[in-house]
Amino acid sequence: MIQKTVNKTAQGVDIHFTGSVDKAKIFTMVENCSHGKCDCMKEDTKRKIKEMHVEDLGDGEIKIVLTGDIEKQEISEAIQRSKVL
């Protein structure tokens, strides 16, 4: 089972995935979002994101780093709507 934790940072929001993480799905999700093909985020949230990248932290942990004037709640809602996860 995948565990998802969303944290507010000084630069934006981080999403940590642990457990049975399918790295390919995470990379696909970020790729879709980066190219505007994602339908899980509201348009105003997409516009707020300045940068998005994935970090493989090892031991089954992946982190997505979102930089911009975004709130934890916006991203938590988007994760719940994601069709990739």
- pLDDT tens sequence across 9-36: 999 999 999 988 888 888 888 888 887 7
CATH value at residue 23: 3.30.1360
Give the predicted TM-score (pTM) of the model: 0.89
Q: Average the pLDDT over 40-51 and give the result.
A: 91
- Residue ranges making up the domain that contains 45: 2-81
pLDDT at residue 33 in the model: 83
Residues in CB range of 18: below 8 A, 6 or more apart:
2, 3, 5, 60, 61
Question: Which of 26-30, 68-72, 75-79 has the lowest average pLDDT?
Answer: 26-30
Indicate if the pLDDT at residue 81 is higher than 80: yes
What does the block give as tokens for 50? 């300045």
pLDDT at residue 12 in the model: 98
What does the block give as tokens for 36? 């505007």
| Number of independent structural domains in the chain | 1
